[in-house]
């Protein structure tokens, strides 16, 4: 029987060896392991196009340099360039039945439209953040006419999609309320890699590396950009500068890193570790007691599904969030985390106090985190949910041939 071919499009596709966000790797691998033929279109920072075979996937690497430190205008240029390059690449792939387009940003919806309008191929649209709502609430697009155009594009992309996959129940509900066919909207949250990240006793050699032996270690890991509002963590570290039993680690890079380092000058209880690959992050999580998740307190970000949350759950860490939302509610309900007001550094220490003095309570919270990862967010469970969205062996011939 001929297998179905799926094009999986995500600008920032990474393998486990590369680190970073690897949701697209696990989901595309799940499709390939289920018998689908999967071709991935992504980018890399090299100067030439490359086509690689990676564990059953055909991966097209488009040359397009991108770094987290880029400002708004340069990011917009890179996003637009990816859309054009990806459309050209996708239209040349033959015998495709479905196109799976993963955002952000919103502009990748043009790739799905191109495949549908020029090839007659349906597209699934994965929504990682609510765009353009998020950048608008962050103050990036203030022109009312531009906002209207962006919301119009969002609605067009949603209506034209065969199916929509939100990365959280909150995103799913938001979109369902705004389109004509809410039944085509699903939720597949981010993945907890329960095989790679596992709870372990702290290793003394790693504690000595970062000089945290005998300390409670609070770690933020991930992008260091405006949306993360890490000023709140710097304020907490400054407030607790006399609390020698608590130390803070920030692992990651981004446009805000240099400014945050400057704000932290003179603080001896905080370290900046820079970018970490997945293996290095595993070592940092070994010495970590508390995973700190930080975001700007805007409604759009209450709906997000941060990858770092699910890594921390799999590693069995107490979760502290400085933003409300579906994920914070879930952490509190399951007994594996709490909310700390980012405007009140004392609130963080008040709520952390019981875990400092009751090691058993900290251990139970970690166990609850791991249980949640295994029962609701494992890659096997979520991969199966994605596979179920594709009708088995319902081959539909493309209306138009590929561009030669």
**Between residues 320 and 76, the one the model is more confident about:** 320
Longest CA–CA separation in the chain, Å: 68
Mean pLDDT of 48-59: 96
Return the bridge partners of 270, or none.
Answer: 248
Distance (Å, whole) CA 261 – CA 399: 55
Per DSSP (E only), the strands in 64-132 are 98-102, 123-127
Mean pLDDT of 103-118: 93
Instruction: Report whether 368 contacts 335 (CB < 8 A).
Output: yes
pLDDT of residue 397: 46
pLDDT of residue 277: 83
Mean pLDDT of 55-65: 96
pLDDT of residue 114: 97
Per residue in 361-390, pLDDT (tens digit) is 999 999 999 999 999 999 999 999 999 999
**Per-residue pLDDT for 33 more than 50?**
yes
Per residue in 175-188, pLDDT (tens digit) is 999 999 999 999 99
Per residue in 129-146, pLDDT (tens digit) is 999 999 899 988 899 999
Distance (Å, whole) CA 81 – CA 244: 49
Distance (Å, whole) CA 292 – CA 212: 17
**Per-residue pLDDT for 156 more than 70?**
yes
- Strands 246-251 and 337-339 come out as unpaired
Per residue in 228-273, pLDDT (tens digit) is 999 999 999 999 999 999 999 999 998 899 999 999 999 999 999 9
Which pair of tokens denotes residue 130?
Answer: 């609510």
Per residue in 330-354, pLDDT (tens digit) is 999 999 999 999 999 999 999 999 9
Q: Which 3 state secondary structure label does DSSP give 90?
A: helix
């Amino acid at each position: 029987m001929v297998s179905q071919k799926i094009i999986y499009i995500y600008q920032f596709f990474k393998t486990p060896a590369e680190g970073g966000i690897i949701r697209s790797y696990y989901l595309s691998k799940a499709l390939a392991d289920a018998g689908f033929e999967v071709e991935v279109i992504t980018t890399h920072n090299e100067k030439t196009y490359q086509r690689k075979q990676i564990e059953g996937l055909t991966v097209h690497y488009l040359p397009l340099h991108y770094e987290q430190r880029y400002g708004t205008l340069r990011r917009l240029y890179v996003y637009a360039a990816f859309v054009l390059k990806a459309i050209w690449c996708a239209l040349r792939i033959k015998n495709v039945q479905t196109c799976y387009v993963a955002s952000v940003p919103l502009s990748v919806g043009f790739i799905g439209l191109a495949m549908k309008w020029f090839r007659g191929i349906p597209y699934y649209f994965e929504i990682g953040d609510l765009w353009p709502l998020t950048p608008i609430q962050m103050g990036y697009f203030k022109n009312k006419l531009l906002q209207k155009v962006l919301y119009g594009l969002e609605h067009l992309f949603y209506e034209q999609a065969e199916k929509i996959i939100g990365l959280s129940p909150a995103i799913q509900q938001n979109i369902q309320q705004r389109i004509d066919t809410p039944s085509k909207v699903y939720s597949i949250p981010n993945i907890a890699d329960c095989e790679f990240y596992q709870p372990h006793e702290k290793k003394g050699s790693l504690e000595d590396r970062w000089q945290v032996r005998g300390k409670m270690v609070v770690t933020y890991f991930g992008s260091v950009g405006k949306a993360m509002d890490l000023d709140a963590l710097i304020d907490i570290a400054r407030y607790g500068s006399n609390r020698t039993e608590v130390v803070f680690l920030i692992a990651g890079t981004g446009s805000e890193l240099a400014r945050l380092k400057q704000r932290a000058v003179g603080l001896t209880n905080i370290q900046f570790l820079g970018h970490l690959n997945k293996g290095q992050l595993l070592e940092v999580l070994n010495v970590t007691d508390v995973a700190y998740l930080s975001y700007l307190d805007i409604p759009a970000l209450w709906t997000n599904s941060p990858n770092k949350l699910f890594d921390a759950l799999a590693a069995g860490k107490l979760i502290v969030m400085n933003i409300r939302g579906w994920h914070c509610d879930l952490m509190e309900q399951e007994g594996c985390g709490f909310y700390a007001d980012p405007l009140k550094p004392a609130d963080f220490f008040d709520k952390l106090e019981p875990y400092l003095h009751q090691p058993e309570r900290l251990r139970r919270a970690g166990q609850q985190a791991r249980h949640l990862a295994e029962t609701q967010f494992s890659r096997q469970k979520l991969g199966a949910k994605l596979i179920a969205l594709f009708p088995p062996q319902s081959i539909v011939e493309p209306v138009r041939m590929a561009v030669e």
